[in-house]
């Protein structure tokens, strides 16, 4: 099924014209429109008056739509309804595709009402790398039972892969690939590929020496344009990039993105090939990294789901916000301590929101730019000092420009009566001007240094762009503004 054609969504659907005109909207993409229509069909089926009609309608929907589309649509159904869609898929292959493409919550909901032998059938009919990811959604007790049901060889390979970190090369690779000795001809390679239709041909065929070590690769195009009698050693290319099983996901993404590698081999310490990481898997890993970075910047690691329990989502956000609450209480205590002073009453309460707003945005811009550069590999250990210096210069320029602008505006408003605070206009303008300048410089300093600090401590640097540093930034900026207001008031008085 090609979801690129609107007719597959529904040939009689009158909303197609409206869909085409709104496809530029992020919430009206081609796939999201398809998901909405399919979800609407499923919801109607689940609200039929009798269970007989419900099952008939769900089975009809499951047979008419691609299991990949059903996998995405089911993530938005109530958990107790998702297994009904799975049970009514037309065949085992459709169920395998559905399970691979749906989310962890849906798999867990389905596995709760699925027999171990049924899970074993699914695992037997999917690639090993996918099977390992699926089995991660089982409890330890059920995992052991399912592994005991598997073929001894496959069970051993699954156990070996599960020993590695979830985001390592060993977990991302597939052990199904084509690799041949150097003297094998292209004709023999083509025959082997034809005889193994169950193994997907990656963008390369790998070449081994007589000891079985990986020494090169042959691009798939060379298999077509060269005569069948040519041995692989005459058309192979040297292999410049390979990884070991423990290589991290971030390093893999960096290699593939920089060198545009279609299939990245995984080898052991003796250069014996263990598997290959395909470009499609790397794209999925990049999406996961992007989701994690955005979530961390937002101050939460929750996975969005319409049916996720509210308290669970609250719990995922609360720890980050707790620090914000503590920082706010310290700020409020400081403001209360100085309440009653002449310089405080006439200046601070009116301009603290402005100071916090400026510092928060300046610090967020700085840290986000640096975190992005670190995650994409544009920023290295050798260039970080230059990057920090450049950000500090930008913060200094922004602070100077907006400090002068804010101070001038307040001074003009004061002498014209727009702001009648009962304090010398020049004192107010100077206070706010230096307050904005110091807030921007403080925010830039924190935004520039915190990402590297967190990275050095082994913490995701995206934390530097979240509520943690934002709250700390507001606290420092407010205290700095209080000090400047007190200092300038003393200068004008004495």
With CA atoms as reference, report the closest residue to 237 among 282, 269, 205, 263.
205
Out of 292-296, 312-316, 415-419, give the one with best mean pLDDT: 415-419
Tally the domains of the chain. Answer: 3
Residue 110 lies in a domain: yes
- Digit-coded pLDDT (tens) for 284-296: 888 887 777 666 6
- Digit-coded pLDDT (tens) for 222-261: 888 999 999 999 999 999 999 999 999 989 998 998 888 9
Rounded Cα gap, residues 247 and 206, in angstroms: 20
pLDDT level of residue 123 (50, 70, 90 thresholds): very high
Residue 427 lies in a domain: yes
Mean pLDDT, range 64-91, rounded to an integer: 89
Q: Which of 298, 331, 358 is the last residue of a domain?
A: 298
394 and 317 in one domain? Answer: yes
> In angstroms, what CA-CA distances link 104 with 179, 302, 343?
33, 13, 57
pLDDT surpasses 50 at 424: yes
**Are 189 and 223 contacting, i.e. CB atoms less than 8 angstroms apart?**
yes
With CA atoms as reference, report the closest residue to 84 among 68, 106, 100, 66.
106
Instruction: Indicate the SS3 state at residue 214.
Output: strand
Mean pLDDT, range 361-368, rounded to an integer: 84
Q: Which of 298, 318, 344 is the last residue of a domain?
A: 298
Mean pLDDT, range 89-107, rounded to an integer: 91
User: Which stretches of 125-263 are DSSP H helices?
Assistant: 128-135, 140-149, 152-162, 169-172, 186-195, 220-225, 232-235, 249-259
426 and 384 in one domain? Answer: yes
pLDDT level of residue 15 (50, 70, 90 thresholds): very low
Least confident among 14-28, 51-65, 159-173: 14-28
203 and 150 in one domain? Answer: no
423 and 319 in one domain? Answer: yes
132 and 22 in one domain? Answer: yes
Mean pLDDT, range 200-225, rounded to an integer: 89
Residue 89 lies in a domain: yes
pLDDT surpasses 50 at 458: yes
Q: What percent of the chain has pLDDT over 70?
A: 83
The pLDDT, as a whole number, for residue 237 is: 93
CATH of the domain at 282: 3.10.580.10
pLDDT surpasses 70 at 298: no
Residue 304 lies in a domain: no
Q: Which of 171, 201, 232 is the last residue of a domain?
A: 171
pLDDT level of residue 270 (50, 70, 90 thresholds): very high
The pLDDT, as a whole number, for residue 90 is: 92
Residue-range definition of the domain harbouring residue 291: 179-298
Q: Is the pTM of this model over 0.85?
A: no
CATH of the domain at 363: 1.10.357.20
149 and 282 in one domain? Answer: no
Rounded Cα gap, residues 229 and 383, in angstroms: 51
Look at the alpha carbons of 313, 319, 323, 326 in this order and tell me if their dihedral is positive or negative: positive
Do the bridges between strand 179-181 and strand 237-238 make them parallel or antiparallel, or are there none, so unpaired? Answer: unpaired
287 and 154 in one domain? Answer: no
Rounded Cα gap, residues 476 and 352, in angstroms: 12
Residue 33 lies in a domain: yes
379 and 243 in one domain? Answer: no
Residue 444 lies in a domain: yes
Residue 1 lies in a domain: no
Neighbouring CB atoms inside 10 A of 259's CB total 11
89 and 66 in one domain? Answer: yes
99 and 211 in one domain? Answer: no
The pLDDT, as a whole number, for residue 12 is: 41
Residue 303 lies in a domain: no
231 and 290 in one domain? Answer: yes
316 and 285 in one domain? Answer: no
């Amino acid at each position: 099924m090609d979801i690129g054609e609107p007719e597959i969504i529904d040939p009689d659907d009158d909303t197609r014209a409206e869909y085409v005109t709104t496809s530029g909207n992020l919430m009206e993409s081609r796939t999201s429109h398809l998901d909405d229509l399919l979800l609407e069909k499923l919801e109607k089926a689940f609200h039929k008056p009798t269970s007989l009609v419900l099952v008939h309608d769900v089975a009809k929907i499951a047979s008419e739509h691609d299991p990949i589309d059903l996998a995405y649509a089911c993530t938005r159904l109530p958990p107790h309804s998702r297994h009904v869609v799975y049970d009514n898929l037309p065949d085992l292959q459709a169920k395998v595709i559905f399970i691979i493409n749906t989310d962890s919550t849906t798999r867990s909901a389905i596995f709760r009402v699925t027999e171990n032998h049924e899970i074993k059938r699914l695992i037997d009919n999917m690639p090993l790398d996918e099977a390992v990811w699926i089995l991660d959604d089982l409890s330890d007790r059920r995992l052991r039972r399912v592994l005991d049901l598997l073929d001894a060889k496959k069970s051993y390979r699954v156990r070996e892969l599960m020993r590695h970190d979830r985001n390592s090369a060993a977990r991302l690779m597939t052990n199904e690939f084509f690799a041949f000795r150097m003297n094998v001809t292209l004709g023999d390679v083509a025959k082997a590929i034809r005889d193994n239709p169950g193994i997907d041909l990656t963008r390369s065929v790998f070449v081994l020496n007589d000891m079985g070590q990986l020494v090169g690769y042959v691009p798939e195009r060379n298999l077509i344009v060269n005569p069948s009698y040519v041995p692989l050693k005459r058309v192979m290319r040297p292999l410049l990039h390979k990884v070991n099983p423990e290589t991290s996901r971030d390093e893999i993404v960096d290699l593939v993105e920089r060198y545009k590698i279609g299939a990245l081999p995984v080898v052991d310490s003796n250069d014996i090939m263990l598997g290959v990481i395909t470009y499609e898997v790397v794209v999925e890993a990049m999406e996961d990294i992007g989701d994690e970075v955005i979530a961390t910047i937002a101050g939460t690691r929750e996975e969005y789901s319409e049916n996720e329990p509210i308290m669970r989502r609250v719990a995922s956000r609360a720890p980050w916000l707790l620090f914000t609450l503590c920082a706010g209480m310290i700020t409020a205590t400081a403001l209360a301590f100085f309440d009653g002073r002449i310089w405080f009453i006439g200046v601070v309460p009116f301009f603290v929101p402005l100071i916090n707003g400026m510092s928060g945005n300046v610090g967020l811009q700085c840290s986000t730019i640096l975190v992005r550069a670190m995650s994409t590999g544009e920023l290295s250990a050798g260039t970080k000092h230059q990057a920090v210096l450049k950000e500090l210069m930008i913060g200094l320029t922004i602070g100077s420009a907006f400090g002068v602008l804010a101070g001038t505006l307040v001074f003009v408003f004061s002498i014209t009566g727009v702001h009648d605070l009962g304090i010398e206009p020049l004192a107010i303008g100077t206070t706010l001007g230096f307050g904005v300048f110091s807030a921007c410089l403080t925010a830039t300093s924190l935004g520039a240094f915190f990402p590297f600090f967190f990275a050095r401590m082994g913490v995701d640097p995206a934390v530097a762009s979240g509520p943690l540093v934002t709250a700390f930034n507001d606290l420092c900026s407010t205290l700095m503004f209080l000090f400047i207001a007190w200092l300038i008031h003393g200068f004008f008085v004495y």
